[in-house]
């Protein structure tokens, strides 16, 4: 049975996209409950200046808490080398640095052009290597940009190669703006893998902004992708990509993967119960997903037992 890693990004991508700051103890309950449901990797926050994202001000404390959970891989987002050092100091298992394929988005999001970002990647990679943390680069806006429009695939391939040369240990393709379609996913995954090697491109970070999220997951599966980011309740988006809200719903993704006979290691019934923690901590905040309302199919347990 093929194992697929579902990486929960809600505590970072989800919470940075809403105005309210979630209580620290509620965040801890959320992470502990997801880990107990079988989620093996959680992005617990990001090491950005608190004045820019006060929702992420407690990330170091979240890392310390999550590191005490057996079997959980604790990762965080870092915007630059300074963030990488803070992540290492906090004790993360891994970190991901976003590298926007749209230069317009890169300047808006991290205030650096592509050449400057390659320098940051190189410096952050060295810090991660010295600190014993896994270092991944997320190729953001790889499928299109709400600020710039279409992003040339040749450019994505070229920048992917530069990221690897600068020290990335792993790459992910990110549909930051919810522009991707299944044919595009298949095509771009093949092209990037051909350029950097199959083992280097393992992850897709997809949004469901236009309802194509799970269709794009299937396209990624067909091309050998083994890790998919998702957010509980579909919380999340990019504050610098207008209209790009809507991460893939973790509950729906797990239902689909388990039903397809793939191994996620996640107990869907337990995962569905985690939603109540977020609802209680963020009353009135919209949460999404079909599975929490409809429930699993009557023959769900037979499907996952195949």
The string of pLDDT tens digits covering residues 233-278 is 999 765 555 555 689 999 999 999 999 999 999 999 999 999 999 9
Rounded to the nearest integer, the mean pLDDT of the chain is 94
Contacts (Cβ under 8 Å, ≥6 apart) of 75: 7, 41, 42, 43, 44, 92, 93, 94, 95, 96, 134
Q: How far is CA 126 from CA 76, 80, 134, 174, in A?
A: 17, 12, 11, 23
- Is 238 annotated in the active site? yes
Q: How wide is the angle at C-alpha 22 spanned by C-alphas 20 and 28, nearest 5°?
A: 170
The string of pLDDT tens digits covering residues 212-232 is 999 999 999 999 999 999 999
Q: What are phi and psi of 7, to 5 degrees?
A: -100, 115
Element (H, E) at 170: strand 170-174
The DSSP string of 203-222 is EEE-B-TTS-HHHHHHHHHH
The string of pLDDT tens digits covering residues 99-146 is 999 988 888 877 889 999 999 999 999 999 999 999 999 999 999 998
CA distance 228 to 129: 24
CA distance 233 to 236: 9
Find, among 66, 60, 7, the residue nearest to 31 by Cα: 66
Name the catalytic one among 101, 136, 238, 268: 238
Q: Give me the domains of the chain, ranges plus CATH numbers.
A: 5-304 (3.20.20.70)
Please give the pLDDT value at position 111. 85
Element (H, E) at 76: strand 73-77
pTM comes to 0.95
Contacts (Cβ under 8 Å, ≥6 apart) of 199: none
The DSSP string of 105-162 is HHHHHHS--HHHHHHHHHHHHHHHHHHT-EEEEEEETTT-BTTTB---HHHHHHHHHH
Please give the pLDDT value at position 107. 87
CA distance 190 to 47: 32
Helix/strand/coil percentages in the chain, nearest 5: 45, 15, 35
Q: What are phi and psi of 68, to 5 degrees?
A: -85, 0
Would you say how long the chain is, in residues?
A: 306
Please give the pLDDT value at position 236. 78
The string of pLDDT tens digits covering residues 54-96 is 999 999 999 999 999 999 999 999 999 999 999 999 999 999 9
CA distance 192 to 17: 29
CA distance 154 to 188: 9
- Residue 162 confidence (pLDDT) above 70: yes
CA distance 262 to 304: 8
Find, among 86, 56, 93, the residue nearest to 72 by Cα: 93
């Amino acid at each position: 049975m093929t194992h697929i890693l579902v990486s929960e990004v809600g505590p970072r991508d989800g919470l940075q996209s809403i105005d309210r700051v979630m209580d620290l103890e509620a965040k801890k309950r959320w992470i502990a409950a997801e880990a107990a449901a079988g989620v093996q990797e959680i992005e617990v926050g990001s090491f950005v200046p608190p004045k820019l994202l006060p929702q992420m001000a407690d990330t170091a404390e979240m890392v310390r808490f999550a590191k005490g959970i057996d079997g959980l891989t604790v990762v965080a987002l870092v915007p630059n080398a300074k963030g990488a050092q803070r992540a290492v100091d906090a004790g993360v298992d891994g970190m991901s640095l976003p590298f926007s394929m749209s230069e317009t988005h890169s300047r808006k999001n991290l205030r650096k052009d592509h050449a400057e970002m390659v320098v940051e990647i190189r410096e952050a990679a060295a810090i991660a290597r010295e600190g014993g943390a896994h270092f991944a680069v997320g190729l953001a806006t790889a499928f299109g940009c709400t600020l710039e429009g279409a992003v040339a695939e040749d450019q994505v391939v070229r920048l992917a190669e530069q990221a690897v040369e600068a020290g990335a240990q792993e790459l992910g393709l990110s549909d930051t703006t919810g522009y991707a379609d299944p044919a595009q996913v298949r095509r771009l995954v093949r092209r990037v893998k051909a350029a950097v090697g199959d083992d280097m491109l393992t992850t897709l970070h997809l949004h469901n902004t236009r309802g194509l999220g799970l269709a794009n997951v299937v396209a990624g599966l067909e091309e050998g992708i083994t890790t998919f980011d998702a957010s509980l309740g579909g919380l999340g988006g990019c504050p610098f990509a207008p209209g790009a809200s809507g991460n893939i719903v973790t509950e729906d993704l797990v239902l689909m993967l388990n039903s397809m006979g793939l191994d996620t290691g996640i107990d869907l019934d337990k995962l569905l119960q985690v939603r109540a923690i977020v609802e209680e901590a963020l009353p009135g905040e919209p949460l999404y997903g079909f599975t929490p309302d409809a429930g699993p199919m009557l023959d769900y347990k037979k499907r996952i037992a195949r």
